[in-house]
Structure 1
Amino acid sequence: MIRSMTAFASAKGALPPHAWSWELRSVNAKGLDLRIRVPDWIEGLEAALRADLGKRMARGSVTLSLRMSRQDEAAALALNPAAVEAALDAVTEVEARAARRGLPLAPSRAADLLGLRGMFDTAGAEEDTAPLLARLRSELAPLIDAFLDMRQSEGAALAVVLNEQLDRVAALAGQAATLAEARKAAMAETLRANLARVLDNTEGADPDRVAQELALIAVKADVTEELDRLSAHVDAARTLLAEGGAVGRRLDFLMQEFNREANTLCSKSQNAELTAVGLELKAVIDQMREQAQNVE
């Protein structure tokens, strides 16, 4: 079963005095791009989560966010002595400089200083974050499971759409083959007319060169090879979808091959109906390519 690169999962947990919420989301990308947003005061957390995620998925722009709060946060607040001293020194210096210049300043208030960033140390009362790290890592596995379940579900829907589009490509290739067969008589008549014109103007020309040019005209109008390759690409795409797993890169490449054959078919058609089929093929292949870009 193929998997989509688009998914979302969330969860909540707690280990008193801490509580937290997880969010794991992803969108399509050419490779695997992991973006980890977690508190930096839990030693080793980001590296551990990055390693755990990297083992479970192959492609996608994946963002993992962890928001933490402390249930006794008010009690856990503690002044950062170094920050307090630095703030007081700065206030003293500013007031002294203002006084020397005769500039009046409003009296400083403690509340103003306490509102400055870094005045409180809220990293938590626990010095050993190892139990918290272990608990968070244990919760990541079921979060990834839920995330991958959604990827799988989205992938199943993608497979249905892609198989329907492959059916359409196969039907259009069959229609093109019928039209190509039907135009053979007209193409033969055109070739005979061209041959007559060439022979009327080839006095003294090299017969081998004339034969080569006529053969080239015939080859340029033959779309059998393109139609055969389209059929082969349809079979290859169905095999990849049935194989499942991380087949997105190979599907991306196959979509380029589909498009190349459709372009060549249009350039060789020399027939309005066959050109119309070729253009419809290009439209279906473009839609299919957009869907394939979401496959992991």
Structure 2
Amino acid sequence: MPVYSMTGYASASAGGATNPETGVVGSRASVELRSVNGRFLDLSLRLPEELRGLEPALRELVSGAVKRGKVELRLTTGREGDGGWPRPTPEQLSLLSRLESTVQGWLSKAAPLSVHEVLQWCRTGGSSEQPDEAVLEAARAAVEGLREAREREGARLVAILMERVQRLRELAAQAEPLVPQVVQRQQQRFLERWREALQTAGAGASVSAEAQAERALTEAAAYAIRIDVAEELSRLKAHLDEIERLLEKGGELGKRLDFLIQELHREANTLGSKSAALELTAVSVEMKVAIEQMREQVQNIE
């Protein structure tokens, strides 16, 4: 399944066909859809008052394709975009004259059409196409376009996240051999300090060389336990495996990824707090930078 971003834009138009018999241009509808990230689906519609009755159908259409994000739908019709009055064609006027004669033949008291009424009819009348049909057709096309745009953006986000996952794996691999090296260096320091202490105490000291070495090794072992980050690195790798699995599976995974990013932050922070060497501190900082970059991208995933 594809991964969808919550950011996208699409527009579509429908209607506006000319009736070949009457020369009347049918109703035209244009739909714009914009979406940005959000915790839940927040849908707002901007519709002309005469088309408010289509709001439930439009909401159902959008919510069936979009699960999360702040989405704005803007609908405009041909009436709103007309800059002036139309120029009636002879065919339109001929048809209207016949219709008027038919009505007056049956209703002798019917008033003749005014110029304004004729122009209004030429602008909106004579079309077999219903405005609602044009609106829904344009909305369906716009929704499909929005899904495609969000899918393209989602693919880009997946590529970025996969790159950061690989970077974190590299950093974890760098951190693993650093702990034994730090422990070994600290062990040498303990031995040196014990030797210095014995020399200061003088020849009367009762501590043997064997006891000195054993005490130093005990201190080094306790120190190794305090700075051991094997468990943190193991959990970090497990979280990275899960993130990679989710990205390959696709679907609606934004909330799960957000939770895993929090867990990655936890492990990186613990690694930094246990750091006893400049090298481990640098690795922890690099991890936090990569994780923060992932968090920013995950915020846009549906």
User: 1 CA distance for matches of 2:194 and 2:38?
Assistant: 54
Aligned to 1:270, what secondary structure does the other structure show? coil
Which runs of structure 2 are paired with 1:104-123 in the superposition (5 Å)?
Answer: none
Report if the CA contact (8 A) 1:20-1:66 is conserved.
yes
C-alpha deviation, 1:186, in angstroms: 2.7
The corresponding residue for 2:284 is 278
**1:286 shift after superposition:** 0.7
Q: Cα offset for 1:220? A: 3.1
Q: Which residue of 2 aligns with 1:238?
A: 244
Structure 1, gaps ≥5 residues long: 76-123, 198-212
* 2:259 is the alignment partner of 1:253: yes
What corresponds to 2:69 in structure 1? Answer: 60
TM, length-normalised to structure 1: 0.70
1:251 to partner: Cα distance: 0.8
Aligned twin of 1:80? none
Aligned length: 231
Equivalent residue number for residue 3 of structure 2: 2
How far apart are the structure 1 equivalents of 2:151 and 2:231?
36
> For 2:234 and 2:189, how far apart are their aligned partners in 1?
25
**Structure 2 vs 1, CA of residues 48 and 269 (structure 1 numbering), >3 Å: closer, same or farther?**
same
Q: Which residue of 2 aligns with 1:171?
A: 170
Which residue is 1:157 aligned to? 156
Q: How does 1:142-221 map to 2 (within 5 A)?
A: 142-188=141-187, 218-221=224-227
Aligned mates of 1:137, 1:195 — CA distance in 2? 84
SS at match of 1:2: coil
Aligned partner of residue 29 in structure 2, secondary structure: strand
Go from structure 1 to structure 2 and tell me whether the alpha carbon gap of 1:248 and 1:172 turns closer, same or farther (over 3 Å shift). Answer: same
Of 20, 37, 44 in structure 1, the residue corresponding to residue 53 of structure 2 is 44
Contact 1:28 1:293 in 2 (8 A): yes
Secondary structure (helix, strand or coil) at the match of 2:49 reads coil
Whether contact under 8 Å (2:186, 2:220) holds in the other structure is no
Task: Using the TM superposition, name which of 257-266 and 182-191 deviates more.
Answer: 182-191
Q: What is the one-letter code of the residue matched to 1:29? A: G
How far apart are the structure 1 equivalents of 2:67 and 2:163?
A: 26
1:28 to 27, 31, 37: 37
Alpha-carbon offset, residue 225 of structure 1: 0.9
> 1:126-141 residue pairs with structure 2 within 5 A?
131-141=130-140
Mapped to 2, the partners of 1:163 and 1:74 lie a distance apart of: 57
Q: What's the CA shift string for 1:175-216, capped at 9, x where partnerless? A: 01121232221344567899999xxxxxxxxxxxxxxx9998
- Supply the distance in 1 between the matched residues of 2:140 and 2:178 (Cα, whole angstroms): 56
How far apart are 1:155 and its partner, in Å? 1.1
**Match for 1:263 among 269, 279, 297?**
269
Deviations 1:55-77 (A, max 9, x none): 111111111111123269758xx
Identity in percent = 40
Residue 277 of structure 1 and its aligned partner are, at CA, apart by 0.7
Q: Which runs of 5+ in 2 are unaligned?
A: 17-24, 87-122, 198-218
Q: What is the TM-score normalised by the length of structure 2?
A: 0.68
Separation of aligned partners in 2, 1:252 and 1:24: 26
Contact 1:195 1:214 in 2 (8 A): no
2:90 alignment counterpart = none
Look at both structures and tell me which one has the larger radius of gyration over its CA atoms.
2
Structure 2: how far apart are the matches of 1:20 and 1:145?
Answer: 16
